[in-house]
């Protein structure tokens, strides 16, 4: 640090110490200080870059994805009577799109596909965030 920088620093410290000794005089003489801006404004060009950085932090979090064919209500008596080959009637209709849920929240609908002897689902309709919020408000 140069001698000029040290002198400026020493002068700043001296001024601060003198203000501390005379709080009433310092309050009267000091101009009105506005509070620091803690949060950045929502408008501007940096929000997209910040959103991408924040989004990248959650990319490796595992979630449960469920494909639901349909549902039914069944009594424990009937459940205990199920055996190999029993048929359980579901409320979903044949050919109706299946629900795709992530952590229990509907995010899409789709249809069954078979690829190399493995089942999969082709997404036919993705639920927008606005549609999900509307469903929450019902």
Residue span of the structural domain in which 105 resides: 62-137
Residue 25 maps to a domain? no
Per-residue model confidence as pLDDT tens digits over 77-88: 999 999 999 999
Q: What is the pLDDT of residue 86?
A: 93
Residue 104 belongs to some domain of the structure: yes
Q: Examine residue 28 and state whether it is found in any structural domain, yes or no.
A: no
Tell me, yes or no, whether 48 lies in a domain: no
CA 60, CA 75: separation in Å to the nearest integer? 40
- CATH at residue 77: 2.30.330.10
The DSSP secondary-structure symbol of 94 reads T
Burial class (CB in 10 A: 0-12, 13-18, 19+), 100: buried
pLDDT at 69: 85
Give domain status of residue 124, yes or no.
yes
The listed range with the strongest mean pLDDT (18-22, 92-96, 107-111) is: 107-111
- pLDDT in the model for residue 21: 58
The pLDDT tens digits of the residues spanning 95-135 come to 888 999 999 888 999 988 888 888 888 999 999 888 878 87
Q: Report the predicted TM-score, pTM, of the whole model to 2 decimal places.
A: 0.51
Instruction: Give the pLDDT confidence of 27-69 residue by residue, as tens digits.
Output: 455 566 666 666 666 665 555 555 556 777 888 899 999 998 8
């Amino acid at each position: 640090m140069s001698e000029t920088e040290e002198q400026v620093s020493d002068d700043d410290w001296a001024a601060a110490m003198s203000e501390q000794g005379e709080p009433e005089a310092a309050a009267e003489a000091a101009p009105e200080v506005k509070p620091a801006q803690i949060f950045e404004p929502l408008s501007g060009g940096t929000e997209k870059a910040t959103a991408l950085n924040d989004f990248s932090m959650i990319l490796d979090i595992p979630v449960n994805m469920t494909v639901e064919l349909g549902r039914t209500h069944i009594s424990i008596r009937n459940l205990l009577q199920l055996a190999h080959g029993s048929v359980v009637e579901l409320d979903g209709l044949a050919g109706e799109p299946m629900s795709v849920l992530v952590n229990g929240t509907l995010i899409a609908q789709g249809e069954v596909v078979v690829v190399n002897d493995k089942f999969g689902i082709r997404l036919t309709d993705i639920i927008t965030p606005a549609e999900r919020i509307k469903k929450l408000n019902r």
